[in-house]
Amino acid sequence: MSISCNSIKMTDKNGDLNFINKEAAQWRDIPSKPIEYAPKEETIFLSGGLTLLQDKLVEAALNSMDIHFIALPNPTFESYQTGKAFGNRGQCNPTYFTVGNLVKYLQNLRDESGLSEEEIVQKYVYITAGGCGPCRFGMYITEYKKALRDAGFEGFRLTSFEHDKGIFQGDDIDEEILNFTPKFFITLIKAVIIGDIINLLTYKMRPYEAEKGAVDKAIESCKEIVSSAFLEHKSLIKAMWECRKVLEKIKLNRLQPKAKVMVMGEFWAAMTEGDGNYNLHRFLEAEGAECIPQPIVNRLLLSIWEAEQALNKKEQLAIEDQKKIDFSSVKTRLLIKAGKAAVKTHFSLYAKAIGLHDYEIPDMKKLAVLAKEYYTLDCSGGEGHLEVAHLIESVKHNLSHLVISIKPFGCMPSSAVSDGVQSLVTSRYPEANFLSIETSGEGATNFYSRVQMALFKAKQSAKEEFERALGSNNLLQSNDSFTGLTPYQIEKLNNYLYQPKNEKAGTAAQLISSL
């Protein structure tokens, strides 16, 4: 059977027979009807997805720049269900939670605040991060648009910046909506760094509070102090010093052995504080553990390291006899160097002001050396080689009793690392207590059960370590009292500003060993 080509008429959706010969143009997902959007000065920006504290600090920081910004509420299981209802099938957990959270917020504006769908589309814009690599993260914008259209908000504006480029954004950023200037990113990074520092102290102190809820109450005060400093353009260092005075009033009992658990893995799953990871951090604390969270500054430093690696490769490909100086590379290298220095300097200043003394910013070069035998450093999807490096570092330097790598169900980059490469790491380091675990929105019972089994071993290790520390210092413990310690020593050890460094993993063992 033969088919005559003349019998086939190819047209575009408008019936244009000549569309094949037209000049190629970038496909745009545009609304079916023209929309007259509100002017820039009347536009309200929405975003979220960091820790609860950091979302609010970012809100204050951006409002201090005359950007009308609102941090979205913490995603809940209802957000997940909304995302499932309006999103595509087969998406990862963070997609459903974040997309559904935005749709739910807009629905509340419509149903509870009385705004029409047209008003919402005209006035509001959502800011998100984009990216590339072996991950559905690069498809988030498309998923947002699909869900928003199906929920009745067709034409709702979204703008994104590349999460791994920092201030090195491309020319495709829509400056009519928001200018991603260096000032924007510097202010944003300050808020994120301060949030990291306060979060680290929160997780150090909360498991040992003498009065339940005292730390959370103090952190709320710190949030207000720092937010006011941003909005009133006051000294952030002075604000952190004021936070220090608030935290010093909290009574702690740090002389009790608790398993220290490092929580790492896929960025959103490891960082979120809510239903998105079954409230993992709070669950661990309720089970008698102390968490080591992964601060966002780690991801920021990884992005800077990746930019530096890419520049090194570019320069290695240069022609040997070429005499012309590539000024663009020189400028990029200077910006990278300045970026690293700025992050480390600001982190150090703010940390010292509030009293975080024992935390060192990760050395990305050292972490790369630890991981390169197990993981190709050129593979930059997800968290890259950091998961492997953090596990090895934890074992070699006795940083924790348990390492949990948490990720969404089916997360391509993270699952390949934790479920594949990490098995080789644990075979070479049999003393490692490592748990790789996934979230799917449902299945909390199985999730908690697996965590509890791994935590049982960690608790035993913490108790044995603490008893060895007592024996080395000729101390005896009876309930919560210690024979051989003076009241002054006990007061000193329970002060959060006293943060000794040694090769003990548990906080109580560290304190006793420092005597």
Q: Residue 165 has what pLDDT?
A: 44
Of residues 314, 337, 420, 322, the one with CA closest to residue 376: 420
The CATH number linked to 126 is: 3.40.50
Domain that holds residue 207: 185-248
Supply 33's token pair: 């009807």
379/508 same-domain check:
yes
341/375 same-domain check:
yes
Domain count, the chain: 3
**Mean pLDDT (the chain, rounded):** 87
Q: Residue 279 has what pLDDT?
A: 95
Q: Distance (Å, rounded) from C-alpha 329 to C-alpha 280?
A: 43
Last residue in a domain, options 130, 153, 180? 180
158/267 same-domain check:
no
Is pTM, for the whole model, over 0.95? no
392/278 same-domain check:
yes
Instruction: Taking residues 147-173, report their average pLDDT.
Output: 69
pLDDT surpasses 70 at 49: yes
Q: Could you give the residue ranges of the DSSP H alpha helices within 443-498?
A: 444-472, 487-493
Per-residue pLDDT tens for 243-299?
999 999 999 999 999 999 999 998 889 999 999 999 999 999 999 999 999 999 998
pLDDT surpasses 50 at 164: no
Q: For residue 74, what is the DSSP state?
A: P
Q: Is 142 left (phi over 0), alpha (psi -120 to 50) or beta?
A: alpha
371/405 same-domain check:
yes
433/446 same-domain check:
yes
Last residue in a domain, options 216, 248, 280? 248
338/476 same-domain check:
yes
Calculated CA dihedral for residues 410, 412, 413, 417, nearest 10 degrees: 60
pLDDT surpasses 90 at 506: yes
Per-residue pLDDT tens for 111-142?
999 999 999 999 999 988 765 555 666 677 88
130/176 same-domain check:
yes
231/277 same-domain check:
no
130/276 same-domain check:
no
> Around 60, how many Cα atoms within 13 Å sit in the side-chain half-sphere?
22
Instruction: Taking residues 422-451, report their average pLDDT.
Output: 89
Flag whether 442 is in a domain. Answer: yes
162/295 same-domain check:
no
Last residue in a domain, options 211, 227, 248? 248
